[in-house]
Amino acid sequence: MKVDNKHNSKTDPLLQQALSNAEEREILRAVMVIGAESQDSENGCAQSPEPHVDPSQFSSRLAYRKALIAQRQNQVADDMHDVLQALHDLSLSTRGGTMGKTVVVEGPAAQILASLELPSVLHASLDQEVNLIEPYTSSSNEQDHA
């Protein structure tokens, strides 16, 4: 598929290569960073009035913490609703985006390429398997040289 400079500015080199070599219907998975057009420079969230949660209203630190988490989830859900709907409208499946602005998107390569046109998609990287590396120990090094 043809990936132009506009798309390249939003993608990492591995996703660029995967999209360039993919057939339109080939299923790819990408990790996307989502942002609103008007963002708060401190936390990258859309500016929306957020009621202050007063710790004195709670019986314990745990209850206060749960309230803060719920508030954050509600704020992110509100901020992410439109872009997640746009991704679903492109026939892409999404996971994540409940506590932060990162979403795993899976679907046909042509649709992932089309999703890069969305102004709220700030960056996309090819989702890859994470390989664990065995920790270095001096005993394993001595065995290698024996």
Domain borders along the chain are 5-128
What are the tens digits of pLDDT across the range 19-76? 999 999 999 999 999 986 544 434 444 445 566 788 888 899 999 999 888 888 888 7
Q: What angle do CA 95, 43, 29 make, to 5 degrees?
A: 25
> Are the CB atoms for 105 and 92 separated by under 8 Å?
yes
Q: What confidence tier does 90 reach under pLDDT thresholds 50, 70, 90? A: very high
Model confidence at 145: pLDDT above 80: no
CATH code, 5-128: 3.30.70.80
> Are the CB atoms for 90 and 115 separated by under 8 Å?
yes
Task: Identify the DSSP state of 57.
Answer: G
What are the tens digits of pLDDT across the range 123-133? 999 998 777 88
> Are the CB atoms for 35 and 122 separated by under 8 Å?
yes
Distance, in Å, from the CA atom of 118 to the CA atom of 35, rounded to the nearest integer, reads 10
Q: Residues, the chain, total?
A: 146
What pLDDT, on a 0 to 100 scale, did the predictor assign at position 144? 56
Model confidence at 93: pLDDT above 90: yes
